[in-house]
Amino acid sequence: MFDTLTGGSSLVSEIHLITEYPLMERAKVTHRRKKDILMSLWMIAAVPGLYQPVVCGQTLSYSRFAFAVASAAEVKKLGVVGTVSHTIRGDLGPRHQVTGHAADKVYYQNKVVVVTYHDISPNVYSRFVITPQTFSSHLDAFVKMHFHIITAQQFTDFLSHRGSVPANAVLLTFDDGYQNMYTYAFPILRAHHMQGMFFQIVASADKHDAGKLSWSEIKVMHQGGMAFGSHTYDSHYHVLQDDRPVAVFNTPIRLNGRIETPAKYHARVYKDFVQAREELSQVLGQPVTEFAWPYGHGTWTATAIAHEAGYDYLFTTAHGAVTRNTNPSFIKRVDVGKTDVNAEEAVRKVIDAGTFLPWLHYG
């Protein structure tokens, strides 16, 4: 099955082999779905050093970054048993020739995968918390697997066509401004010689909210090389609209028994966004142009207000990588800050995002 290798300028695609999801054993697979899986098995590649791929009960090991290509007919003969990715991913072209050299560990180029973390604490009180040990293991794995952690400045220069980024580029971001960012994330990042971008709910620093970063801690982190952006001034909460929760910056709300007019809604949100940007800029001594949406997204109206308030780069929670052609109003990110995401899973998520090609997607 794995005797055929494709090299030269032939069609070669970096396909990420996922070994922890036995597709045929965990779900009832229809004949049509089985055909889709057969098609997606046309190309299979193992990420070097990350997995011991198991296909049809056979464990395969790779000493180098090698590509194995299996035809659908060959796979079908073996019963399509085992564990494979549901997505064909990668780039096509001569650079993916099979050379056998360790230096060929390039998963993606001219892209940035922006990863998201939330809280980092020894007390795992929710699924959005990872321990300091897990966080450190993520960073170790990124280094080991040849990722390059870039700075916020490198990222905005890349997106604005003012600069380039290295292969396998990753930007680390942290939402909500927990005090644990100072206690745990900051020293771990410093020890790894890496920068993080921290999105701060500015009112929490003004009000000295327990468990959130203070202005003095923000200053120390910034002086230590960390970057900061806005997570609103004080608009990180929901209101009920038609019996469903809606972010307060995305909708007019009821004040004094009446729904806001469009003008009052605009004025309220604009004031919040501007206040956050101006206070952060004053404390940091430099302009703040980055903004992360609480709950992951803003409406078109809220997006227009954010730009009017002085933000150029708007970070969402939509999944994917960033290219030079990405709209700065819709920056995608990959969430690796959940409790169940270990180092291997974090690496897999980044590779998946960086090598995903929509037009080769199955399932």
Per-residue pLDDT tens digits for 86-115: 332 333 222 322 233 345 589 999 999 999
CB 338 within 8 A of CB 116: no
Distance in Å from the first CA to the final CA of the chain: 23
Per-residue pLDDT tens digits for 177-215: 999 999 999 999 999 999 999 999 999 999 988 899 999
Looking at residue 148, its amino acid is H
Per-residue pLDDT tens digits for 217-255: 999 999 999 999 999 998 877 677 777 787 888 888 887
Per-residue pLDDT tens digits for 147-184: 999 999 999 999 999 999 999 999 999 999 999 999 99
**pLDDT at 67 > cutoff 70:** no
The mean per-residue pLDDT over the stretch 337-349 comes to 97
**Residue 363 CB-density burial (10 A; 0-12 exposed, 13-18 middle, 19+ buried):** exposed
CB 70 within 8 A of CB 37: no
Q: Which of 253, 198, 250, 261 is nearest to 224 (CA)?
A: 198
Question: Which has the higher per-residue pLDDT, 81 or 354?
Answer: 354
Give how far Cα 318 sits from Cα of 43, 128, 225, Å.
Answer: 27, 17, 27
**pLDDT at 145 > cutoff 90:** yes
Per-residue pLDDT tens digits for 8-51: 322 233 333 333 333 333 343 344 444 444 444 443 444 443 33
Question: Which has the higher per-residue pLDDT, 282 or 63?
Answer: 282
Which pLDDT band holds residue 345 (cuts at 50, 70, 90)?
very high
**Residue 339 CB-density burial (10 A; 0-12 exposed, 13-18 middle, 19+ buried):** middle
DSSP labels, 313-350: EEE----S-EETTS-TTSB--EE--STT--HHHHHHHH
**pLDDT at 55 > cutoff 80:** no
Residue 132 region, left (φ>0) first, then alpha (ψ -120 to 50), else beta? alpha
Which pLDDT band holds residue 360 (cuts at 50, 70, 90)?
low
CATH numbers and ranges of domains, the chain: 23-102 (no CATH), 111-355 (3.20.20.370)
